[in-house]
Structure 1
Amino acid sequence: MTSFDLTQWQIAVDALPLGVIIFADNGKEEWRNSVASKMGGVRHTEVLINEAIDHVGRLVVAGEATTSQLDLAGPPPRVFNIRGLPLLSGGAVVTVEDVTEQLRTEKVRTDFVANLSHELKTPVGAIAILAELLEGETDRETVKKLALRIESETHRMTQMVDDLFELSGIEMQSVMQTQVNLCEVVFEVERIISTVASHSGIAIKTHFDDKPMLVLGDKTQLLSAVSNLAENAVKYSNAGGIVEMTLSHEGKDVVLSVSDQGIGIPPDSLPRIFERFYRVDKARSRGTGGSGLGLSIARHVISNHHGTLSVTSSEGEGSVFLVKLPQLKMNTP
């Protein structure tokens, strides 16, 4: 192989998205590409990865093609697939692939299908039972109650399907790049949820300056995100409570705070609060008709707008959801 060929070969292997390591027939490492050189990032992680690479390399040189998985506890936890194959000219090639995100995505998909099946099974099963009870029933009052229950379960399924379509659309669609005044968004959300909140004995308060708070994005998506946050605050508040939406500036960001005085979120639930179908209080969520998708929708919308969504909470005292979005500068003459 000429030096030109060798250079071209190295450039090609360097472009691969996985680590590649070449071992000589005596078991010593001869070369690795740039991905393999940078793999790990943290000293103790690099040591463990290199030990696994050397182990696989020695096995392959000894005539045993092998594949192994390296699980690192972290933080953050990571998973690597390490494969070794013999070279025709002697020696071995070992590849290292970080499959952490791939496995996480597969788990999310599996959990999503399992959760969706469970969530749809509950109202479908309830409708079937109610329909059986309705069959042959002659008492008009009982018939009316059963029919209303069937209607309620049907609305619940419809809401779940609608939320799924909305979430799917948000994940797939690009964000419309238009000027959006978040003050208008908050005002519209207040109008939307005020009736439900008043009926539950909950007051809605808003705080923001008269000056526009502008961001670049999709007003419909942002309206959906803020509505879900506000509706969630009302849903988990008790009668006599207050839900507040506050807009302010922080550096180059517009900050929206949605706070409540409700039941709060247990510390062990906080890391999962934005997962699809995850509910802290399943009984209360079902009683209020929640699909378990609202906070997930909000998170995706804010992420699509290059912002962040976080939460702090104390059980029995309430929760605060904090949205930060890049502020759009107004053109001045």
Structure 2
Amino acid sequence: MLPAGRILLVEVAYRELTLGIAALFSDPETAHGGLPALDRLLHLGQYALGAPGMAIAELNEAGSGRVIAASGTAAWALGRPVQPYVVAAACRPGPPTYRIELGAIDDESSEQMTSLGSRWIMLHRVDVDGAPVALLGAFVAEDRAADPDELAVMALLGATVGRLYAEQAGLPVQSHGNLGELADRELFIAVTSHELRTPVTVIKGYADTLRDHWSQLDEKARRDAARVIGQRSDELARLVDRLLAASTDSAAGTLSLGPFDLVEALRQAAANLPADLRRRIRLELPERMPLAYGDRTTIPNVLTELATNADKYSGRDEPVVLSAAHDRRTVLFQVLDRGIGIAPEQVHRVFERFWQADSGDGRRYGGAGLGLYLVRKTIERQNGWVSLRPRDGGGTVAEVRLPRGDVKRDAPASGEA
């Protein structure tokens, strides 16, 4: 049982929670639901429960899920996949709110949450039309039973999340449906033709200029034309590689997993970025970190995609920052920009194949909508995960996490999807 003083605090917090939820549906920033509403709910719930952290995992038809919102000590898990066996263990029949032991989830998450002060999870299964659509979890720091007032708080939070899903108020944030073979092929052709047209046109234009006006051009003009042709050819080759990888629904090749020095890999990858991009990168890397566990050869492509995105959407005077850190179970690196930022409702959709924030001939920014899709596929095949979030003060943070390579592993990873 909770102490009398704690019970009073929960009762007061419950009243404040009801007022906060009422305000949520009238606030223009959260009235339409989606991730802004879920983020607000988590912070309201965290305060009402006195929990060190909370998270919401959205489930899909395949029986797996993904953490789409997290606060407090759970923030590290944002974007992390939830495997089917974890979903199966978490979705219990009966009352929707119940206790889940940390041992019921994977060892890495269990150790991470234990190191952050959690003892168990108060879980609420969110059902719509009799089927679970999400899992709402509050991390509890004391080894005790849940109090009825806390169960009431979880029930109110779960009912609110369920309402948002039932009304499709900006939820689900991930696309669960398949385009179908014909629609997917048509979209692939449309994107391919659109994105190939620009570099091919530029290459042909400069090549025609060199062929038809060679004698009229001075040495500098010829070198400039050759430089542009080379740059556009590199872009074209990279685009073709991405299109081929995406067309087979797999990241390139079989991975070779093992421990490696992430800081060294990042320094080398940054040094080999295109010259214009390399000049914008500001390295804020530690001298050393624990080893990562994954495929070192994938780091250059992942960094190139993230840094290219940051460069594309940022002002020319703002640096793109590359930083790295580690915690008890993971190592991570971040690419931070001061660009146009990312809308909360887009932070998960940007990882979908062919997805683009703007479309049509009036698009401001190019791209096939494949880069982040392939980054996520590549990193998740290494038992890691990727997330995007708004940066404090404006801009975007892209974060990549990989398992640490200096911890005991129960079984070797296969590197297969």
TM-score range, shorter chain: 0.5 to 0.7
Residues 105, 185 of structure 1: alpha-carbon distance in 2 compared, 3 angstrom cutoff:
farther
Q: Secondary structure at the match of 2:333?
A: strand
Moved more, 124-133 or 206-215: 124-133
Q: Secondary structure at the match of 1:317?
A: coil
* Partner residue in 2 for 1:188: 268
Residue from 363, 381, 384 that aligns with 1:307: 384
Q: Secondary structure at the match of 1:239?
A: coil
Query: Which structure carries more strand by proportion?
Result: 1
Q: Which amino acid aligns with 2:127?
A: V
Cα deviation for residue 259 of structure 1 reads 0.9
Cα deviation for residue 304 of structure 1 reads 1.0
Cα deviation for residue 315 of structure 1 reads 11
Does residue 159 (structure 1) correspond to residue 244 (structure 2)? The answer is: no
Q: Which amino acid aligns with 1:188?
A: Q
Cα deviation for residue 234 of structure 1 reads 3.2
Q: Distance in 1 between matches of 2:211 and 2:332?
A: 55
Q: Distance in 1 between matches of 2:281 and 2:232?
A: 28
Provide, for residues 249-280 of structure 1, a one-character-per-residue CA deviation record: whole Å limited to 9, x for no partner.
Answer: 23422222221122323445434322445455
Q: Which amino acid aligns with 2:270?
A: E
Using the aligned pairs only, state the percent identity. Answer: 27
* Partner residue in 1 for 2:127: 42
Provide, for residues 122-164 of structure 1, a one-character-per-residue CA deviation record: whole Å limited to 9, x for no partner.
Answer: 4446667778888977983499688877666555433321333
Residues 283, 147 of structure 1: alpha-carbon distance in 2 compared, 3 angstrom cutoff:
farther
Cα deviation for residue 305 of structure 1 reads 1.1
Residue from 385, 390, 399 that aligns with 1:322: 399
Residue from 246, 261, 285 that aligns with 1:207: 285
Residues 120, 313 of structure 1: alpha-carbon distance in 2 compared, 3 angstrom cutoff:
same
Cα deviation for residue 320 of structure 1 reads 0.1
Contact 1:238/1:262 (CA < 8 Å) preserved in 2?
Answer: yes
Q: Secondary structure at the match of 1:264?
A: coil
Q: Distance in 2 between matches of 1:280 and 1:175?
A: 31
Q: Distance in 1 between matches of 2:257 and 2:278?
A: 35
Does residue 228 (structure 1) correspond to residue 305 (structure 2)? The answer is: yes
Cα deviation for residue 183 of structure 1 reads 1.6
Q: Distance in 2 between matches of 1:103 and 1:276?
A: 11
Contact 1:236/1:262 (CA < 8 Å) preserved in 2?
Answer: yes
Q: Distance in 2 between matches of 1:131 and 1:224?
A: 29
TM-score by length of 2: 0.46
Cα deviation for residue 309 of structure 1 reads 0.9
TM-score by length of 1: 0.55
* Partner residue in 2 for 1:265: 342
Contact 1:127/1:150 (CA < 8 Å) preserved in 2?
Answer: yes
Q: Distance in 2 between matches of 1:147 and 1:256?
A: 35
Residues 108, 316 of structure 1: alpha-carbon distance in 2 compared, 3 angstrom cutoff:
farther
Q: Which amino acid aligns with 1:118?
A: H
Unaligned runs of 5+ in 2: 1-61, 63-92, 94-125, 132-165, 409-417
Cα deviation for residue 185 of structure 1 reads 1.8
* Partner residue in 2 for 1:119: 195
Q: Secondary structure at the match of 2:273?
A: helix
Q: Which amino acid aligns with 2:330?
A: D
Cα deviation for residue 204 of structure 1 reads 0.9
Q: Distance in 2 between matches of 1:272 and 1:324?
A: 19
Contact 1:230/1:258 (CA < 8 Å) preserved in 2?
Answer: yes
Q: Which amino acid aligns with 1:119?
A: E
Contact 2:291/2:406 (CA < 8 Å) preserved in 1?
Answer: no
Provide, for residues 37-68 of structure 1, a one-character-per-residue CA deviation record: whole Å limited to 9, x for no partner.
Answer: x9xx935256xxxxxxxxxxxxxxxxxxxxxx
Q: CA RMSD in A?
A: 4.4
The 5-angstrom pairing of residues 1-333 of structure 1 reads: 42=127, 44-45=129-130, 76=172, 101-103=177-179, 107-124=183-200, 140-141=216-217, 154-165=233-244, 170-171=250-251, 173-193=253-273, 195-197=275-277, 199=279, 202-208=280-286, 210-215=288-293, 217-267=294-344, 269-280=346-357, 285-286=365-366, 292-313=369-390, 317-330=394-407
Residues 103, 207 of structure 1: alpha-carbon distance in 2 compared, 3 angstrom cutoff:
same
Q: Number of paired residues? A: 242
Q: Which has the larger radius of gyration?
A: 1
Q: Secondary structure at the match of 2:335?
A: strand
Q: Which amino acid aligns with 1:224?
A: N
Provide, for residues 280-303 of structure 1, a one-character-per-residue CA deviation record: whole Å limited to 9, x for no partner.
Answer: 5786644xxx66533222111111
Q: Which amino acid aligns with 2:216?
A: R
* Partner residue in 2 for 1:8: none
Contact 1:183/1:212 (CA < 8 Å) preserved in 2?
Answer: no
Unaligned runs of 5+ in 1: 1-16, 18-37, 47-71, 80-99
Residues 315, 179 of structure 1: alpha-carbon distance in 2 compared, 3 angstrom cutoff:
closer
Residues 103, 186 of structure 1: alpha-carbon distance in 2 compared, 3 angstrom cutoff:
same
Moved more, 299-308 or 164-173: 164-173
